[in-house]
Amino acid sequence: MRGLGGVRRGAGVFVLGLALTACTQTYAPDRVKESIQEICRAEYGIEKIDVKIVGSTIGVFLPLKKLFATDFKETLLAGKTVADVEDLFHPSPEALDQVEDVLFSISRVLLSTELKLQFYVLQATDTEKTGLQLILIGYVDDIKRVRLWDISRNEYRKRVLHEIRLNRAVVWHRPVTQFFGELEKSPTLEFLQPSFVRPLSPSLVESLFFFNPESSGERSAHWRLGELRSTLVEPTRVLVHVPVELEYDPQKVAPGAFKVPAGSALEYFMIVSFASEPGRILRVIPISYLDAAGAIQKFPLSNELNFQTDPDSWQIEFPLTEIRLGDFLAEQLSRRTQALLTQDERVHNTFEEVRMSFRYQKDVPQKYFSLELDVKPKGHTPQILQPSALNEDVLYLLNLASREFVDLLRSYQFSDYEFLQLNLVSDPLARILAREELELFRRNKADLQGILGGVSPF
């Protein structure tokens, strides 16, 4: 993605800030999440961050009002000319400050706890407008190594993965979160109505949300949203599962204003329509209800509506999976080699297009890396390579990639693989480089041409 270029220039500053943070105290393993939140709140005034731990990976979700300095919608609607698309992806100064502050907090805790964590993920997301997010992924040992000058600052920058994605769940959930935000501030029909496609009546609001919007004093109530989940049901309609906890002080609300006691856990499905801008709530389906005794009960969910039976079809705003070192290295290799190719004059003069990507194959009896290579030479008609021969220009590409491969894996001391498999789109045969051959290549005791067997001039 070309937009990453603008991010990389800013990212280099705060990823180094993360690495060079000093540690002054020890954080209890069972309070790592709370410690990060407390530092962000007490020292940087950042109140709303979420922290998760999955296996050896810790993730932090940072919601932002504005991630990028440029307003995308305003630029497009105004028909403004953008000289370089990368200019659209410069983080705003305020966003950079918050990202840096959160990275400092993560660093301080990770470097001063006995909890064994290998990776951190920071997901800085524009929750107010675009739903775009900057994701930073780093290896904890790399932080330690750059602090000890075991790797250079420039090398450390290359090791931190960063990319921009669209968080569809954030976009889909925005009408719901805005509605409950209005319930916090101004729970009257006048302010609640814009969140809905159709007009609301006081009786409908009361039956759905268990409070009377015509009563006074509800502003002291808090509607605490749990983790929202959503799935696309039609091209312009989304189904959102909404758990919410209602908190209020009975002494500060009008008598009879609420039909359920404070601390009640409520649950809804909401259908959100995006047929027009902005999205609005089309329908509210309550899962919670009051029985004859005034107690809260829940309707049973059908399999189609039960996200627990098919979690993969539902999206959340802050998904986190455990990162494995082999996969991390494969992604890093893909980006590093692609960067090498864009800066190489011979590659630029020889090829119209080069696509190169690494994969770590771990779900097999023998773990291995694979390298997929697809090339389009300049001024040449695509040809099928001979089964046992390589064009010298393709061999040059493989040399660049293989050198990066052996050097990086040795730097990480990663040995959980048996071979590197080379897959050329124009070649019907896969080529295998055993670890022993790769080690000879790394030590300059064997060249790639000799290992692979011959070169074809085309």
Give how far Cα 206 sits from Cα of 203, 209, 454, Å.
5, 5, 79
Percent of the chain with pLDDT over 90: 62
Mean pLDDT is lowest, of 63-72, 201-210, 338-347, 371-380, for 63-72
Q: What is the pLDDT of residues 339-349, one digit of tens each?
A: 999 999 999 99
The per-residue pLDDT of the chain, averaged, comes to 86
Of residues 7 and 136, the one with the higher pLDDT is 136
Instruction: Provide the token pair at 430.
Output: 């896969």
In which band, very low, low, confident or very high, does the pLDDT at 267 lie, cut at 50, 70 and 90?
very high
Residue 136: per-residue pLDDT: 96
Mean pLDDT of 151-174: 94
Q: Which carries the bigger pLDDT value, residue 385 or residue 236?
A: 236
Q: Which amino acid is at 351?
A: F
> What mean pLDDT comes out for the span 327-337?
97
* DSSP H or E run through 100: helix 93-110
Average pLDDT score over residue span 306-325: 86
How many CA atoms lie within 13 Å of 350's alpha carbon, on the beta-carbon side? Answer: 16
Give the lowest-confidence range in 275-289, 290-304, 379-393.
379-393
pLDDT, tens digit, for every residue of 394-427? Answer: 999 999 999 999 999 999 999 999 999 999 887 7
Instruction: Give residue limits of the domains in the chain.
Output: 4-167, 171-313, 325-456
Q: If pLDDT is split at 50, 70 and 90, which confidence band does 171 have?
A: very high
- The predicted model gives 185-200 an average pLDDT of 88
Q: pLDDT at position 21, please? A: 53
Question: pLDDT tens across 37-74, in order?
Answer: 999 999 999 999 999 999 999 999 999 999 987 765 55
d(CA 415, CA 160): 21
The 10 Å Cβ neighbour count of residue 30 is: 9
Q: What is the rounded distance in angstroms from the CA atom of residue 109 to the CA atom of residue 26?
A: 8
- Would the pLDDT of 258 be above 90? no
pTM here? Answer: 0.86
Picking from 97-101, 176-180, 194-198, 384-388, which range would have the lowest pLDDT averaged per residue?
384-388
For the stretch 1-15, pLDDT in tens is 333 333 333 444 455
Give the model's confidence band at 381: pLDDT under 50 very low, under 70 low, under 90 confident, else very high: low
The residue among 384 and 409 whose pLDDT is bigger is 409
- Residue 449 DSSP one-character state: H
| Cβ atoms within 10 Å, residue 179 | 22
- Is the pLDDT at 388 greater than 80? The verdict is no
Task: With a cut of 50, say whether residue 367 has pLDDT above it.
Answer: yes
Over 80: is that where the pLDDT of 355 sits?
yes
Residue 328 to residues 120, 243, 262, 298, 414: CA-CA distances in angstroms? 12, 34, 46, 43, 11
Strands 264-273 and 280-286, bridge-based pairing? antiparallel
Query: How much is the pLDDT for 294?
Result: 79
Strand locations in 362-454 (E): 368-377, 390-391, 419-424, 431-434
What pLDDT is stored for residue 85 in this prediction? 46
Q: Which residue has the higher pLDDT, 191 or 385?
A: 191
pLDDT value at position 308? 65
User: In the structure, what pLDDT confidence band is assigned to residue 84 with cuts at 50, 70 and 90?
Assistant: very low
Residue 451 has pLDDT above 70, yes or no: yes
Exposed (0-12), middle (13-18) or buried (19+): which is 185, by Cβ within 10 Å? exposed
Rounded mean pLDDT, 238-262: 89
Q: Give whole-number Cα distances, 44 to 40, 47, 67, 297, in Å.
A: 5, 9, 17, 41
Tokens representing 114?
């006995």
| H-state helical runs in 218-350 | 325-343, 345-350
CA atoms within 13 A on the CB side of 59: 15
pLDDT the model gives residue 456: 44
Higher pLDDT, 430 or 12: 430
**Residue, of 332 and 452, whose pLDDT is higher:** 332
Q: What is the CA radius of gyration of the chain?
A: 27
Q: Which pLDDT value is given to residue 74?
A: 57
The SS3 assignment for 330 reads helix
Give yes or no for a contact between 428 and 384, defined as CB atoms under 8 angstroms apart.
yes
User: What pLDDT does 428 receive?
Assistant: 76
Q: What's the CATH code, domain 171-313?
A: 3.10.450.540
Q: What percent of the chain has pLDDT over 70?
A: 84
The β-bridge partners of 91 are: 68
**Mean pLDDT to the nearest integer, 121-143:** 95
